[in-house]
Amino acid sequence: MGDTEKKLHFVMVHGFGHGAWCWFKIRSLLEASDYKVTCLDLKASGIDPSDPNTIFTFQEYNEPLIDLLSNLPENENVILVGHSAGGLSLTYAIHRFANKIHMAIYVAANMLRRGFVSDQDYKDADPDLSKYGDINKTVYGLGADQPPTSTVIKAQFQRKILYHLSSKEDSTLAAMLLRPGPLRPFRGVHFTEGPESGADSVPRVFIKTMHDRVIMQHQQDAMIRRWPPAQVFVVESDHSPFFSTPSHLFAYLLEAVTSINCAT
């Protein structure tokens, strides 16, 4: 690996209810290959002490990511990797910090240029888990007459929906660490493109998960079709390839970096 590649900095952004912990296998593989890796806990996630029922805006939820990008050295760019709802955080960052992002990699993630603006956006990117029944444990932190403030998939459904191809050990670990995620930041989250927006200046890669029970195949294909990335990779995984197929995910992360570097 050359000196330029050694300086690449991966920033891993988790999905709803997860935390930095979900990337532990990928982080180990990347660091063993001499990459710099930062795994973030967004607000009220992982070991962040915030109460999810008190996080009301998408900006507040993403403060750890925004702080990191705001304080990057002038000569350092990052490779953002986002899983599931973490894709919204990637797009938010792209609109604000395009000049600090070398590449954005969406892993079974929401990839909507402007967020949830139209009915089609919800159809293409919002998970519909209704067929599994009453799966969520939801909190109404502002009162029963107000919209809910946080939710988590009930323990008995987590493996079936999120980790069905992952090892029992990994899904057990996840069950011990999964937290209710804040709902209010995601209500109608959308991104305004100003004249300085670099939405198309950051190369994007999408990694499809072929056995996903959260973001379905037709949804992933629709997002790819509507906002085409530079490259698409496919993994035979459940919704959580960092657990079920970590070596393949790792290989595609490196291949994405190499292919974009060659193209530029």
Out of 18, 83, 84, 237, the active site residue is: 84
204-209 and 231-235 as β-strands: parallel, antiparallel, unpaired? parallel
E strand map for the chain: 9-13, 36-39, 78-83, 101-107, 136-139, 150-153, 181-182, 204-209, 231-235
Residue 166 designated active-site: no
CA atoms within 13 A on the CB side of 165: 16
For 68, 137, 144, the CA distances from 13, given in Å and listed in that order, are 12, 24, 32
Residue 212 designated active-site: yes
Out of 45, 212, 238, 240, the active site residue is: 212
State both tokens at 69: 């990008």
Question: What is the Cα–Cα distance from 162 to 14, expressed in whole angstroms?
Answer: 13
State the maximum Cα–Cα separation within the chain, in Å, rounded to a whole number.
58
Is residue 224 within 8 A of residue 232, CB to CB? The reply is: yes
Out of 83, 95, 102, 239, the active site residue is: 239
Nearest to 48 by CA among 80, 86, 11, 21: 21
CA atoms within 13 A on the CB side of 141: 14
Residue 45 designated active-site: no
Residues marked active site are found at 84, 212, 239
